[in-house]
Amino acid sequence: MATPTMPPDPRGPRPRLLMCPPDHFGIEYEINPWMDVTQGSDAAIARRQWQALREAVVALGAEVELLEPAAGLPDLVFTANAGLVFRGLFLPSRFRFGVRQGESPLFERWAREHGFEVVPLPEGMYFEGAGDALFCGETLFAGYRFRSDVRGHQWVGERLGVSVLPLELVDPRFYHLDTCFCPIAPDAAIYYPGAFDEYGRSVIRDQVPRLAEVSAEEAASFSCNAVVVGRTVVLNRGAPKLAATLGAMGFDTRPLEFSEFIKSGGSAKCLTLRLDGEEAAAWKSSPAAG
């Protein structure tokens, strides 16, 4: 007897996210202003916060795939830094700091085992994946200075055949682009102006028609580091002004606690990697495109 096939989902394909359980997460070194090895993190609370995020995105319709955690790699939990997915390609990160470079072989192996074509960047370039490279519409917005470099972004743009807009990050607290900029639709994004120089701010304002500006106070609670599933934005609790702005723009918000991960310089977006691609093609078949 033939197995019946499910009818196609009228909402389009489900978003696919990669996450890594925080079994070995902790503050074991300091590579950004948020990290303090003397403060540490609470493993039990971190586990609950991670699980709440996983449950929230699944409830919103996303499919979550898991990477096995590894001892000695406490930041492996931040899968956004694994690389950049573009259609069937996976461009793995080249981390600036040696303490994170051990993550790359694990991310690359996972990608190959799951059918992606792995395309490494040339030696001598720094590129930290979807932490610093985010599509808004058909343009790749690329943060540089603290982790990634312009040469890496240029190579990525040429390899993928897409337009790249480099944006210099000027505040070390917002060392990755995804800590201060979050596309929420092909023509809309959340951003914190203070993380960019005047040129970067002008580029964003010129290129993104609808912007939800975040205050300095709410930016410090990592409210820009959000996960978008359809028309719902999952973000750190403590950003009521941003939530009101997003509501006026037609988006729902799902505030959650990420206190333990903020101690390491990450929040919701850092804990996920879009496997169906960060590019605009993912939105064209998504409820968020409406």
Q: Is residue 279 part of a domain?
A: yes
Question: Which of the four pLDDT bands, split at 50, 70 and 90, describes residue 12?
Answer: low
Higher pLDDT, 11 or 85: 85
Neighbour-count burial of 79, counting CB atoms closer than 10 A to its CB (0-12 exposed, 13-18 middle, 19+ buried): buried
Residue 134 domain boundaries: 16-289
Catalytic residue among 20, 136, 153, 176: 176
Q: Is residue 248 scored above 90 in pLDDT?
A: yes
Q: Is residue 6 part of a domain?
A: no
pLDDT per position as a tens digit, 71-99: 999 999 999 999 999 989 999 999 999 99
When divided into structural domains, the chain yields a total of 1
| Predicted pLDDT of residue 4 | 35
Question: Which of the four pLDDT bands, split at 50, 70 and 90, describes residue 283?
Answer: low
Dist CA 239 CA 251 (whole Å): 14
220 touches 227 (CB < 8 A) = no
Q: Is residue 2 part of a domain?
A: no
- Number of Cα atoms under 13 Å in the Cβ half of residue 209: 5
181 touches 134 (CB < 8 A) = yes
CATH number at residue 273: 3.75.10.10
Q: What is the mean pLDDT of residues 181-198?
A: 97
Q: Is residue 8 part of a domain?
A: no
| Predicted pLDDT of residue 163 | 95
Whether pTM > 0.85 for this model: the answer is yes
83 touches 129 (CB < 8 A) = yes
| Residue 284, amino acid | K
pLDDT > 70 fraction of the chain, expressed in percent and rounded: 91
Q: Is residue 189 part of a domain?
A: yes
List, in order, residues 6 or more apart from 228 with CB less than 8 Å away. Answer: 182, 183, 184, 234, 288
| Predicted pLDDT of residue 200 | 97
20 classed as catalytic: no
| Predicted pLDDT of residue 14 | 84
Return phi, psi of residue 115, to 5°: 90, 5
Q: Is residue 289 scored above 70 in pLDDT?
A: no
Q: Is residue 22 part of a domain?
A: yes
Q: Is residue 193 part of a domain?
A: yes
176 classed as catalytic: yes
Q: Is residue 150 part of a domain?
A: yes
Question: Which of the four pLDDT bands, split at 50, 70 and 90, describes residue 278?
Answer: low
Catalytic residue among 136, 182, 224, 270: 270
112 touches 88 (CB < 8 A) = no
